[in-house]
A and B are shown apart, each in its own frame.
Chain A
Amino acid sequence: MTYVIVGASTGLGRALAEKFASENNDLIIISSDLRDLDALKHDLQNRFEVKIHPIQMSFREYPMDFQNLDNVIDDVGSILGIMLPIGFSDPADNPSIDKNKMMEIFNINLICVCIFINRYLEILRKNKSAIIGFGSIAAIRGRTRNSTYAAAKRGLESYFESLRHFMSEESVTVQFYMLGYLDTNLTFGEKTIGFKPVNVNTLATKVYDNRFKDFGKKIYPIYWKPVEIILRFLPWPLFKKIKF
């Protein structure tokens, strides 16, 4: 059986690919650069003797080209799950950001993700399967920095709530991880306000172990839960002073 991982060439996506392959699962790995995917494909095939199908695909623009992926899915027959650890932020992201950049951030973090899931829902319904999405603690409460990114991730969270509701009578598990700082290039060099970025391999193992559990949404690491509560209920005169 095969899992699909979008954004598999780096960060959490790569860690998920390594974990799922190490557990003898075939994979369809998707990202924007085929060279990165090819290197990962060879590594996983050499180490774990599983089948890896790399697909070059961009989530920056809509419409997306699904042709190659459709062909591979036809070949592999059925898929056990889709994971979408994909994200893109920009240091210049605030409400006055250039509109093309804004569209790009919305596409990668929300629109293309929803369209992607929408396209393969019917296939997923045929088996016991999982759809796993990834949000961000940036979406807890909107602020100046990362405004488009946070809006997209909040939208994605809402979409996953709806998806879980829609699939509640089916054998498809829908999960959404709201992530704190991870040790990836997205946070490398960023101020992490005292929170140590979490190792992606640890998270990948948790995702694998819990992939069919119907928990809905999870904040990871758990110590972000009180932060979430504080941020949500922080009075506006104080919240508006937050600079991070």
Chain B
Amino acid sequence: MTIDLKRYFKETLFTSFDRSVSLTTFHQRPDRFRMLEDKQEISQIARGGGFSYAPASFGKNILVKEMLSFNRILEFIETSKIVIVEAGITLAKLLEWSFKKHLFFPVQPGWPGITVGGCIAASVHGKNPHKDGTFVDHVEWIELFHPTFGTKIISRSNEAKIFEATCGGLGLTGIITKVALRLKDLPSNSLIIMPKKAETLEDALGIMKDNANQDILYSWHIGSTLLNFGKGIVRIGSFSKKNNSDKLFLPKIKNLNSDNKLPPFSLWNNFSSSMINTINQKVELIKGDVEKNLFSGLFPFIDKANIFYTLYGSKGFNEYQVMIDENQSNEFLTDLTKLIHVEKPSLTLLFMKLFRGERKYLRFSGNGLSIILNLKHCSSTLRFLEKLDSLIISYKAIPHIIKDSRLSKNVVEQCFPDYYDFKEILKQIDPKRIYKSEVSKRLDL
């Protein structure tokens, strides 16, 4: 039976966070169970906060089910510190509640408006994945809805295959409706952030290896080849020993998805990025160790994110995240540096994190080093990224699918040994392939 979607659903223009894909499709905001659990088998995908860089939560002629009304805290089991929440809850709302109980979720990605369902579907990571693993490592079970089987509880011990495919499964196994998360005791109300100067990427890797078990650990580097390439800062953070900050509040967060007031061109280029980031590095080093309230410590980018992305203009940016095996990290950094110097892409920033975790299906995890490249969207960037694709294939490294709107099926197929297993399990769970997105179409999933 064909359903006239135009008659029943609003049409909305969706744009991927990196601004590379923009299209109008059907949009529903379920706010009651009977809307969410509609048994009609129409192509659809769940959407959380809409912060995915790649178009994973929308697609042409695919009904977008926006989950933000399903954002309730359903149960808290004090003895085990397990909280059961609806998947549309944002990290901000969860933290606001958990802070009051002096608990927290140890894996916090970059933006507090991301939903728990989105964190699972994208298998996000926090500020030190080497110590804390990824988000899904702290998930006890998931309630998944699919029109063919209704709702089902999946976990590592029950329907393990579906659970593993759902964690990092890009929302393609069904709609995540409820999640049980294991919280941790909050050691303190504030964090001490210690910046350490890094002269090169390899230098930063060494510093990070020496501090691998700190609460916060990542580095940022100047990406421009014009001046000071690779110089940067390793941010090492730990919970303060004294509970002396009472600023356990969540500030009002400005919407990051503003389509207005974007300049038609990018203000980030090799000159501006080397200048601005050199100044930032100097300022951060002069300030030295700082004590930050929990919120600013966990979301350090929140004050600068709007201006940072606005400077890319309406054409947006490209982000590339790669995970390289720990034994090959130094060698890869040398080759990456060479490639950057040859191609001279408009690279604004690089970030690095140590990683620890199990790699399954298309999930971005493993034991090694993760490198993020943030670039202006232009033809030289696209040429550079194509060469980077070849480099990561030669290293058997994996890209983060959710970060890259141009990643091809060919690259994903070659990088992820489980690509065909993932396709097979999708066929078993969702034989009619109801759950789809632009990303799944591009990768032929």
Interface residues on B, range: 10 to 19
Cβ of A42 under 8 Å from chain B: yes
Decide if B86 is an interface residue (CB 8 Å cutoff).
Answer: yes
Verify B10–A35 contact, CB threshold 8 A: no
Answer yes or no: B159 CB below 8 A from chain A CBs: no
B74 touches A189 (CB 8 A): no
Q: Which residues A1-24 have CB closer than 8 A to chain B?
A: 9-11, 14
Q: Determine whether the beta carbon of A36 is less than 8 Å from that of B32.
A: yes
B72/A188 in contact, CB under 8 A: no
Query: Using a Cβ–Cβ cut-off of 8 Å, how many residues does chain A contribute to the interface with B?
Result: 17
**B71-104 contact mask (Cβ, 8 Å, vs A): 1 or 0:** 0111110000000001000000000010000000
- Known A42-B74, A189-B10; contact A47-B97, beta-carbon cutoff 8 A: yes
Q: Which residues of B contact A42 (CB under 8 A)?
A: 72-75
> Does B409 sit within 8 A of A, measured CB to CB?
no
Task: Tell me the smallest distance from the CB of B301 to a CB of chain A, in Å.
Answer: 26
Q: Which single residue of chain B is at the shortest CB-CB distance from A48?
A: B97
A184–B32 Cα gap in the complex (Å)? 12
Question: Chain A 20-43, CB within 8 Å of chain B: the 1/0 string?
Answer: 000000000000010110011011
Docked complex: A64-106 residues within 8 A CB-CB of B: none
- For A189, what are the chain B residues with a Cβ–Cβ distance below 8 Å? 9-10, 27
For residue A40, give the distance in angstroms from its CB to the closest CB of chain B.
Answer: 6
Contacts A46-B97, A47-B97; A36 near B76 (Cβ below 8 A): no
Assess A33 versus B31: contact at CB under 8 Å? Given A42-B72, A189-B10: no
The residue on B at minimum CB distance from A31 is B32
B-side contacts of A9, CB under 8 Å: 31-32
Q: Which residue of A lies closest to B33 (CB)?
A: A35
Beyond A36-B32, A47-B97, A189-B10, whether A10 also contacts B72 by CB under 8 A is no
A33 adjacent to B34 (CB under 8 Å): yes
Is there contact, CB below 8 Å, between B69 and A10?
yes
| Bound-state Cα–Cα, A145 to B130, Å | 60
Tell me if B's interface is mostly helix, strand, loop or mixed. mixed
Interface residue? B29 (CB, 8 A) = yes
Min Cβ gap A2→B in Å is 21
Instruction: Kindly list chain A residues whose C-beta atoms are within 8 Å of the C-beta of B70.
Output: 39
Interchain CB contact under 8 A, B73 and A188: no
Let me know if A40 and B72 touch, CB within 8 A: yes
Q: Which residue of A lies closest to B66 (CB)?
A: A188
B74 touches A43 (CB 8 A): yes
Inter-chain contacts of A35 with B (CB < 8 A): 33
Question: Could you say which residues of chain B place their CB within 8 Å of the CB of A33?
Answer: 32-34
Which B50-77 residues have C-beta < 8 A from chain A? 69-70, 72-76
Known: A10-B69, A46-B97, A189-B9. A36 touches B75 (CB 8 A): no
B150 to chain A, nearest CB (A): 13
CA distance A163 to B32 in the complex (A): 32
Instruction: Tell me whether A47 and B29 are in contact in the complex, defined as CB-CB below 8 angstroms, given that A39-B86, A189-B9 are known contacts.
Output: no
Whether A10 and B31, one on each chain, are in contact in the complex, defined by CB atoms closer than 8 angstroms, is yes
Chain A residues whose CB sits within 8 angstroms of the CB of B86 once the complex forms: 39
Name the residue of chain B whose CB is nearest to the CB of A34.
B33
Select one of A46, A47, A185 contacting B31, CB under 8 A.
A185
Are B73 and A47 closer than 8 Å at their CB atoms? yes
Which chain A positions have C-beta within 8 A of B76?
Answer: 46
> Which residues on the A side are within 8 Å of B31 (C-beta)?
9-11, 14, 184-185
Q: Which of chain B's residues has its CB closest to A183's CB? A: B29
Chain B residues within 8 Å of A14, by CB: 31
Report the minimum CB–CB distance from A215 to chain B (whole Å).
29
Contact across chains for B72 and A39 when beta carbons are under 8 A apart:
yes
Q: How far apart sit A189 and B86, CA to CA, in the bound complex (Å)?
A: 25
Known: A33-B34, A35-B33. A43 touches B72 (CB 8 A): yes
Using Cβ atoms and an 8 Å threshold, which residues of chain A touch B73?
42-43, 46-47
CA distance A47 to B10 in the complex (A): 33
Within 8 A of B (CB), among A164-206: 184-185, 188-189
Q: Which residues of chain A come closer than 8 Å to B72, judged between CB atoms?
A: 39-40, 42-43
Q: Does A10 lie within 8 Å of B32, measured CB to CB?
A: yes
Report the minimal beta-carbon distance from A6 to chain B, rounded to whole angstroms.
15
Which residue from chain A places its CB closest to the CB of B69 in the assembled complex? Answer: A10
A43 to B74, CA, bound (A): 5
- Bound together, the chains give a CA A10 to CA B36 distance in angstroms of 13
Inter-chain CA distance A34–B9, complex, in Å, is 25
**B-side contacts of A39, CB under 8 Å:** 33, 70, 72, 74, 86
Shortest Cβ distance from A188 into chain B, in angstroms?
6
- Give the contacts of B1-51 with A (CB-CB under 8 A): 9-10, 27, 29, 31-34
Residues of chain B with a CB closer than 8 A to A185's CB: 29, 31
- Inside 8 A of B69's CB, which chain A residues have their CB? 10
Instruction: Report the nearest B residue to A44, measured CB to CB.
Output: B72
Measured CA separation A35–B74 after assembly (Å): 12
- Closest-CB distance, B99 to chain A (whole angstroms): 12
A35 to B34, CA, bound (A): 9
Minimum Cβ distance to chain A for residue B392 (Å): 42
Separation of A42 and B74 alpha carbons in the complex (Å)? 5
| Complex: A47 Cα to B97 Cα, angstroms | 6
Q: Which residues of B contact A10 (CB under 8 A)?
A: 31-32, 69
* Known contacts A40-B72, A43-B74, then 16 further A-B pairs from the complex at CB < 8 Å, ordered by chain A residue: A9-B31, A10-B31, A33-B34, A36-B33, A39-B33, A39-B70, A39-B72, A39-B86, A42-B72, A42-B73, A42-B74, A47-B73, A47-B97, A184-B31, A185-B31, A188-B10
Closest 8 CB pairs of A and B: A189-B10, A43-B72, A10-B31, A46-B73, A42-B74, A35-B33, A36-B32, A39-B72
**A residues near B, CB below 8 A?**
9-11, 14, 33, 35-36, 39-40, 42-43, 46-47, 184-185, 188-189
Q: Can you offer 14 A-B residue contacts whose CB atoms are under 8 A?
A: A9-B32, A10-B31, A14-B31, A33-B32, A39-B70, A39-B72, A39-B74, A39-B86, A42-B72, A42-B73, A42-B75, A46-B73, A188-B29, A189-B9
